[in-house]
Chains A and B, each alone.
Chain A
Amino acid sequence: MQNNIPILKLGDFLLVTIQMDVHDRTALQLQDDLTNEISKRRSKGVLIDISNLEVVDSFMGRVLSDIASMAKVLDAETVVVGMRPAVAMTLVELGLSLPSVVTALNLERGMELLTQRLGRKGNG
Chain B
Amino acid sequence: MGNEESFRESLRLRSDKDVSKARVLISQWAVRQEFSVIERTRAMTAVSEIARNCVVYAGGGTMYVSSLYHEGAPGFRIQIVDQGPGIPDVDQSMKRGYSTGGGLGLGMEGARNLCRAFRVESNAGAGTTITMDYWK
Partner of B104, one of A21, A62, A84, A85: A62
Nearest to B17 among chain A residues (CB) is A23
CA distance A24 to B104 in the complex (A): 15
Residue interface mask B18-49, A partner, CB < 8 A = 1: 01100110010000000001101110110011
Residues of B within 8 A of A59 (CB): 48, 52, 103
Interface of B is mostly: helix
Partner of B48, one of A55, A84, A85: A55
Residues of A within 8 A of B38 (CB): 85-86, 89-90
CA distance A78 to B96 in the complex (A): 27
CA distance A62 to B106 in the complex (A): 11
Nearest to B19 among chain A residues (CB) is A24
Q: Is the CB of B110 within 8 A of A94?
A: yes
CA distance A24 to B20 in the complex (A): 8
Residues of B within 8 A of A58 (CB): 49, 103-104, 106-107, 110
B 100-122 contacts with A by CB, 8 A: 103-104, 106-107, 109-111, 113-114
Of listed A24, A55, A61, residue having the most chain B CB within 10 A: A55
CA distance A56 to B44 in the complex (A): 10
CA distance A96 to B105 in the complex (A): 10
CA distance A57 to B48 in the complex (A): 7
Residue ranges of B at the interface with A (Cβ–Cβ < 8 Å): 16-17, 19-20, 23-24, 27, 37-38, 40-42, 44-45, 48-49, 52, 96, 103-104, 106-107, 109-111, 113-114
Of the A-B pairs whose beta carbons lie under 8 Å apart in the complex, a sample of 27, sorted by A's number, is A23-B20, A24-B52, A25-B16, A54-B41, A55-B23, A55-B41, A55-B44, A55-B48, A58-B106, A61-B104, A62-B103, A84-B41, A85-B38, A86-B40, A87-B41, A89-B41, A90-B38, A90-B42, A90-B114, A94-B49, A94-B106, A94-B110, A94-B111, A94-B113, A95-B106, A95-B109, A95-B113
Residue ranges of A at the interface with B (Cβ–Cβ < 8 Å): 21-25, 54-59, 61-62, 84-87, 89-90, 93-96
